[in-house]
């Protein structure tokens, strides 16, 4: 049963192609995906994440602001959005991540401690893996406690490029 309809478009940014999807009516962004893979794979993931949504090609109303944020490396843009797996814990993680300044990194352990749950390192990593709002929730700024660029939903190479574009010092190897 289809409950709502969302429009999506693939846009060119200084960081490569991005897919932006927004629900009609509520105008809430449900996805900002950084594309390196086949669009069909990303659309399949989008349908799996939102099985009651019909995705149609179109222009999301927040698209130009999101493109500008990606082009200027400004993750502080306010986006009317829906976070996938919108749990209290996930929102705490995303809120902590959004406080990391551009060009800086924090470890998964740092984030777990910041939200008052120091033993939840793996849960923090899982929340990052579920992030459906690339760059706006800057999970690329979260790294392993050893300084390694471990795990990123859109690939380690993309994580490295984003951090370098932001001016982060990368002194460690890729896992």
pLDDT value at 8 more than 90: yes
Distance CA 85, CA 141 (A): 20
- Per the structure, the complete domain to which residue 161 belongs is given by 88-166
- Could you tell me the CATH number of the domain that includes residue 99? 1.10.10.10
For position 175, what pLDDT does the model report? 42
User: What amino acid positions are annotated as catalytic residues?
Assistant: 139
Tokens 């352990």 found at: 109
> For 80-84, 129-133, 161-165, which range has the lowest pLDDT when averaged over its residues?
80-84
144, 136, 100, 90 alpha-carbon torsion, rounded to 10°: -70
Do 93 and 53 lie in one domain? The reply is no
pLDDT above 90: residue 55: yes
Q: Is residue 99's pLDDT more than 90?
A: yes
Pair 95, 137: CB distance under 8 Å? no
Q: What is the pTM of this model?
A: 0.90
Considering the domain boundaries, does residue 119 fall inside one?
Answer: yes
pLDDT confidence band for 82 (50 / 70 / 90): confident
Q: Are residues 36 and 106 in the same domain?
A: no
C-alpha separations of 1 from 46, 53, 56, 75 in Å: 16, 9, 16, 35
How far is Cα 53 from Cα 59, in angstroms, rounded to an integer?
Answer: 16
**173 — pLDDT class (breaks 50, 70, 90):** very low
């Amino acid at each position: 049963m289809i409950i709502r309809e969302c429009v999506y478009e693939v846009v060119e940014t200084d960081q490569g192609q991005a897919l932006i999807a927004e629900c009609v009516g509520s105008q809430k962004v449900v996805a900002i995906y950084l594309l390196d893979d086949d669009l069909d794979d990303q659309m399949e993931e989008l349908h799996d994440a939102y099985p009651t949504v019909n995705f149609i090609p179109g222009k999301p109303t927040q698209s130009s602001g999101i493109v500008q944020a990606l082009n200027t490396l400004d993750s502080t843009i306010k986006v009317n959005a829906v976070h996938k797996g919108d749990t209290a814990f996930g929102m705490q993680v995303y809120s902590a991540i959004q406080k990391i300044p551009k060009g800086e990194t924090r470890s998964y352990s740092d984030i777990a401690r910041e939200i008052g749950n120091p033993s939840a390192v793996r849960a923090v990593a899982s929340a990052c893996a579920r992030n459906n709002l690339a760059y706006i929730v800057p999970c690329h700024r979260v790294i392993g406690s050893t300084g390694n660029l471990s795990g990123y939903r859109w690939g380690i190479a993309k994580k490295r490029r984003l951090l370098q574009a932001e001016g982060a010092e990368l002194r460690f190897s890729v896992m």
